[in-house]
Structure 1
């Protein structure tokens, strides 16, 4: 795989060596990285996401260990980021640090991931505390913003702690002039497992709760699932919105078609997709990413 000229490391062994012997190189790589504004050109965004592993969510479809290999995930991310139509990446700090050392983040939008404390399957899953990036660390690295998962279960007291933490994070990001990307769901437990309610009215209610968090909405964006009646769902907010992909369970053609329809709604500004593009059923990351890029840029009407 080709490397950009700003790469500090050329192999994954180099990354480990740097981490062991010169950890300060990570800060230097962030300081020298070529940054970019969040929105430019056509105003659309195509972001790849890779913050699931830090929550212990390693499955893709029916494969429970699909994301076990960090080097394989990094390969897939670097393939995606090499497409000039991909604007950037959302990930946890350790993945972003690897990518910046490998020179993969120049002229890319970078969004950190904040709350990963709600581990998949845990009894405390909905008490999703801030265990990842902070507003201060995001600003220091000259990233564009940070994302927070905001699952709301009216029967789980852990939800209140999550809402409070997210409101504080939104305020802290706004004070730095950075995007706060909020990913809300109405959630509940079924047979001990947290399940998100993807009915239109449930998504609408989650939007209204989430967009009211914090003292200012000036820098708040939404990250929302593609569901039925998306026009009615998007009428619930004036905030710019990126569509998430989720864990791929349906046929790729059906998934891409649903994205293409939703992307026609004016408030939808693009896609922020992880496993569907990074782990496509046919294994062809570059083609899956290129298809999504074409849709975001208006070149494909799936």
Structure 2
């Protein structure tokens, strides 16, 4: 992995903050879907929610130089279309010149901090629709976790619906990542990946806002991958699969994705930690294997 000069980034930010907007203005843009009609997006919006862990390392994503080097390597691989991240990460990548000709997706709600008592009240503390439009980015992403026992979920639902409206007004795609979640004991909420739960979450997400014309879904693979055909019959909206943290069984993750990618509404993959921090350390190899699934 090539070396990133963090000192140079910090000096630019301190002395010439407008360099970020200028870099965004110079960025070569592309259509959301390229010639292949498929999407391969690298996700790196976890740190903004305080979620820094990968496997057993609770602070794996805390070193910004290391994360940027992994991202730049992943973005340089053939078949990788773009990146999903919060403002601080995307701005570093802009200054590094790593986003030319790439799809850039801004992460919008990061307020439901990992492990917080208010985790389900997932306020929009990241990109706003007007920010994504102003910077010439290509799409936004909304995390929509719903806990039927937590009133904070209603705030998240309401604000997510209004963001779907605002993105559609600007003709900008918004990727909605839905889960049904719940707390079982004193620990953090857990996402329910059973087929019935994912079906219900997709139905809720698909109906948000005054139009679904610009809405995409970002969906998990169910506990039993054989259920995915039934799950994806819930909506006609275009969808991408999310990767999640698969632990050490990388091959099992690839097999899960391979089958689901054949379904008619599934257009690609959005994967982060699984590819950026593979168990064997080979980022390029992990990314290339994932691209091959498409």
- TM-score between the two structures when normalised by the length of structure 1: 0.94
For the aligned residues, what is the CA RMSD? 1.1
| Aligned residue pair count | 290
Q: Residue 104 of structure 1 corresponds to which residue in structure 2?
A: 98
Note if 1:65 corresponds to 2:67: no
Q: Distance in 2 between matches of 1:33 and 1:222?
A: 26
Q: CA deviation at 1:13?
A: 1.6
Note if 1:207 corresponds to 2:208: no
Q: CA deviation at 1:11?
A: 2.5
CA offsets 1:70-113 (integer angstroms, 9 cap, x no match) = 11110100000001210000000000000000000000000000
CA offsets 1:39-82 (integer angstroms, 9 cap, x no match) = 12121000000000000001111111111101111010000000
Query: Gaps (5+ residues) in structure 2?
Result: none
Query: Gaps (5+ residues) in structure 1?
Result: 4-9, 297-302
Aligned residues of 2:2 and 2:73 also touching (Cα < 8 A)? no
Partner secondary structure for residue 48 of structure 1: strand
Partner secondary structure for residue 156 of structure 1: coil
Partner secondary structure for residue 149 of structure 1: strand
Q: Residue 117 of structure 1 corresponds to which residue in structure 2?
A: 111
Aligned residues of 1:60 and 1:248 also touching (Cα < 8 A)? no
Q: Distance in 2 between matches of 1:220 and 1:144?
A: 13
Q: CA deviation at 1:247?
A: 1.2
Q: Distance in 2 between matches of 1:247 and 1:45?
A: 20
Q: CA deviation at 1:2?
A: 6.6
Match of 1:27 among 21, 38, 62: 21
Q: Structure 1 residue runs of 4+, over 6 Å off? A: none
Q: Distance in 2 between matches of 1:99 and 1:204?
A: 35
Note if 1:283 corresponds to 2:281: yes
Q: CA deviation at 1:12?
A: 2.2
Q: Residue 254 of structure 2 corresponds to which residue in structure 1?
A: 256
Partner secondary structure for residue 169 of structure 1: helix
Note if 1:191 corresponds to 2:189: no
Alignment of 1:1-302 (within 5 A): 11-192=5-186, 193-227=188-222, 228=224, 229-249=227-247, 251-296=249-294
Q: Distance in 1 between matches of 2:129 and 2:278?
A: 32
Q: Distance in 1 between matches of 2:96 and 2:185?
A: 43
Partner secondary structure for residue 90 of structure 1: strand
Aligned residues of 1:61 and 1:249 also touching (Cα < 8 A)? yes
Aligned residues of 1:118 and 1:125 also touching (Cα < 8 A)? yes
Q: Distance in 2 between matches of 1:255 and 1:275?
A: 12
Partner secondary structure for residue 223 of structure 1: strand
Partner secondary structure for residue 189 of structure 2: strand
Q: Distance in 1 between matches of 2:34 and 2:99?
A: 17
Partner secondary structure for residue 46 of structure 1: strand
